Chains A and B, each alone.
Chain A
């Protein structure tokens, strides 16, 4: 069965500082990997996704993520955080063979200090 671990429940970062959110997955085949963001009281918005090819993926809002097969990781990064990046971030793994079902990590809540 597939699983996703986001080791950091909360992260506090100063505005303008860099941000890295960790994601480790377990899946037997080649996974599809996703990062979603959820602002308070809102639904989930896709930030970026990895299916194949280049292991460094660019997303919206200046985010990027790197797929490292050897480490089973898909960490999310942003070079300079803005106050509007305060939200909850979810990593998810899925596979077409599994009915495109997604398994989500527990999420990381990001707080941005002025």
Chain B
């Protein structure tokens, strides 16, 4: 299993540009999450999904959109990039039920800079 994969690894955007951060997991996990990590800070939840077709906002959703058309994929969309969105973005997934017990598995991250 590759686990959770994210593309791209690095990206520089100009203010006002748009992009999609890709996230794929091959563990058949129902739950998927997007976090951002600002320098020297912990992770903050942007959006999450409990299954295909179901998404919900986290702590810091403004400026982002998500969709979940398949179990495997959970892309994060930035429509009008702003310097405040400069951050490292992590995707994570977890199984449901007692066998999964909430442990989240993280991708390697996407480092985004908005200039």
Binding site for B on A (CB under 8 A): 4, 6, 32, 34, 36, 42-46, 49, 51, 90, 94-96, 99-107
Contact in complex: A46, B45 (CB < 8 Å): no
- Closest chain-B Cβ to A21's Cβ sits at a distance in Å of 13
How far apart sit A36 and B56, CA to CA, in the bound complex (Å)?
24
Question: Which of B41, B94, B107, B108 has a CB less than 8 Å from the CB of A100?
Answer: B94
How many A-B pairs with Cβ below 8 Å? 64
Instruction: Check if B90 is an interface residue, CB within 8 A of chain A.
Output: yes
Q: Are the C-beta atoms of B101 and A51 separated by less than 8 Å? A: yes
The minimal Cβ–Cβ distance linking B57 to chain A, given in whole angstroms, is 11
- Residues of chain B within 8 A (CB-CB) of A90 are 42-43
Most buried by B among A51, A95, A102: A102
* A104 in contact with B108 (CB, 8 Å): no
A-B contact list, 25 entries, CB within 8 Å: A43-B90, A43-B108, A43-B109, A44-B90, A45-B106, A46-B103, A46-B104, A49-B102, A49-B103, A51-B102, A94-B102, A95-B102, A96-B101, A96-B102, A99-B31, A100-B94, A100-B104, A102-B33, A102-B43, A102-B102, A102-B104, A104-B44, A106-B41, A107-B41, A107-B42
* CB <8 Å contact, B48 and A104: no
Contacting pair A105 B42 (CB below 8 A): yes
CB atoms of A99 and B104 under 8 A apart: no
Verify A32–B42 contact, CB threshold 8 A. no
The reply to whether B42 and A43 contact each other, CB–CB distance below 8 Å, is no
Contacts of A106 in B (CB 8 A): 41-42
